[in-house]
Structure 1
Amino acid sequence: MDIIISNSTGEPIYEQIVSQIKAQIMSGELKAGDALPSMRALAQALRISVITTKRAYEELERDGFIESYTGKGSFVKTQNAELLKEEYLRKVEALLGEACDTAKMCDISLEEMISIVEMIYGGN
């Protein structure tokens, strides 16, 4: 499991961990039942606080991506297809929101945006 932490993004470290683990689960790189490193081992590998990894794991568990068992560790949870689709939709909405904000700043019309999306998506 590869996680890369950047101090220059402005995104909190625990959020970087959460988003990268979610991405690995959604891509199938991490599969149901796969064990995650212990909080301590991950903290040592990334040279960060155990509190930071604990917060990331708690958020992943709250969002339904992992399950943790005292004394056994944390494991990738069997994913509900609807949960995964919802996570993808949130990601797409965030990216499209950024694209729309940029388009408005550049005075690009809605029709032009729709045309761009259709072209990129593979439409007519």
Structure 2
Amino acid sequence: MNIIISNSSGEPIYIQILNQIRKSILSGELREGDSLPSIRQLAKDLQVSIITTKRAYEELEKEQLIDTVIGKGCFVSGANQDFIREQRMKRLEKKLQEIIQDSKELNMSQQELLEYITLLFEEDQTP
């Protein structure tokens, strides 16, 4: 997990951390049970206040994306799979809308697009 902080961004640092960890979880880069850096270690790595990283982790915990185990650390939660699936479905929907728009610009019919997607899907299934 690589978190990049921008001091020129209009977003507070804890929001930048929160958004990047959330994105890593929702994209599947971080999976259920994966450990996160300790609050202190992340603060040290990013050269920010411990309070800043603690606030980001607290927000992730409120969203049920991570769990904190006293003395062990923070881990990606498995409790909120429906939320994660819904968020990933929203991302997929956005990508599909872009594909539909591109296909219209190419004057593809709905049937042509479906055939093309089916072909690609089937190619991906072959070992």
For the criterion TM > 0.5, the same-fold answer is yes
Which residue does the alignment assign to 1:119?
101
Q: Which amino acid in the other structure matches residue 75 of structure 2?
A: F
Runs of 4 or more above 2 Å deviation: 79-82, 85-92, 120-124
After the TM superposition, which residues 82-121 of structure 1 pair with which residues of structure 2 at under 5 Å, given as runs?
82-88=82-88, 118-120=100-102
Confirm whether residue 70 of structure 1 aligns to residue 63 of structure 2: no
Q: Aligned-pair distance for 1:88?
A: 4.8
Query: Are residues 1:15 and 2:15 paired?
Result: yes
Query: 2:30 maps to what in 1?
Result: 30
CA shift for structure 1 position 8: 1.0
TM-score with structure 1 length normalisation?
0.71
Q: Secondary structure at the match of 1:75?
A: strand
Provide TM-score, normalisation by structure 2. Answer: 0.69
Residue in 1 aligned with 2:46? 46
Deviation digits for residues 83-106 of structure 1, max 9, x if unmatched? Answer: 0244357779xx9xxxxxxxxxxx
For 1:37-90, what per-residue CA distance to the aligned partner results, in whole angstroms no more than 9, with x for missing partners?
Answer: 000000000000000000000000000100001111000001534202443577
Aligned pair in 2 of structure 1 residues 118, 24: CA closer, same or farther (>3 Å)? same
- 2:5, 2:17 within 8 Å by CA — same for their partners in 1? yes
**Gap change, CA 1:81 and 1:69, over 3 Å in 2:** closer
Q: Which runs of 5+ in 2 are unaligned?
A: 110-127
Query: RMSD across aligned C-alpha pairs, in angstroms?
Result: 2.8
CA distance in 2, matches of 1:48, 1:91: 30
Amino acid at match of 2:101: M
How many aligned positions are there? 104
Q: Measure how far apart 1:120 and its partner are.
A: 4.1
Whichever of the two has the greater Rg, that structure is: 2
Q: Which runs of 5+ in 1 are unaligned?
A: 96-113
